[in-house]
Amino acid sequence: MTLSNDLDKLRSKMQAAVKAHWKAFLFEGILLVILGIAAIIVPTFASLAVTIFLGWMFLISGIGGLIVTFWARNMPGFWWSLISAALAVLAGMVLLARPMQGVLTLTIVVGAYFVAEGVATVMYALEHRRELSGRWSWLLIAGLMDIVIAFFIIAGLPESAGWAIGLLVGLNLMFGGATLIGMALAARNT
């Protein structure tokens, strides 16, 4: 009973917070949709921007990791932590020094991810079918779509590197923004 009451209180507080700030969620949603559309219109620029952003993230996190590793050098796992931080710095420097090659590498990784995710989802769907679950066909379709996306990305290399990351980020931004817009409008009306 306590967990149920706690969840109800949390849900009530979340609804109140969303209702109180629905305009902020609406603004953020609109901004994300606009950025998503821009990324879809100019996917090469968006792909490059994502690669440069990731480069900076790796570089900054790697430098931070090096500082913390040397600060706590008496802790167990010092060498593993040092190697991990150094690899992050190296990855960041490579992505920033050669962002177009970084876009190609990231596209290959994304293609491989979609293959692995698609195969895993198809296998998961087949397991659900054995249990006579009514939703297994949706899982199967999702897995097959992942494999189709992977095929277009991998078969189109190196040209697909110019559009794949930007297009996927654009779609993600658009759908995330649309979700926030829907949430804001629903909160406004409650």
Residue 133 confidence (pLDDT): 63
- Name residue 170's amino acid: G
pLDDT digits (tens, 9 = 90+) for 108-140: 999 999 999 999 989 988 887 776 566 778 888
Residue 29 confidence (pLDDT): 94
Kindly give, in sequence order, each residue whose CB lies less than 8 Å from that of residue 19, ignoring residues fewer than 6 positions away: 187, 188, 190
- Name residue 152's amino acid: F
Residue 11 confidence (pLDDT): 82
Predicted TM-score of the model (pTM): 0.74
Before 158, cis peptide (omega within 30)? yes
Q: What is the DSSP string of 99-168?
A: HHHHHHHHHHHHHHHHHHHHHHHHHHHHHHHHTT-TTHHHHHHHHHHHHHHHHHHHHTTTGGGGTHHHHH
Q: How many whole angstroms separate alpha carbon 138 and alpha carbon 128?
A: 11
What are the residue ranges in the chain where pLDDT is below 50?
A: none
Kindly give, in sequence order, each residue whose CB lies less than 8 Å from that of residue 91, ignoring residues fewer than 6 positions away: 55, 58, 62
Residue 30 confidence (pLDDT): 96
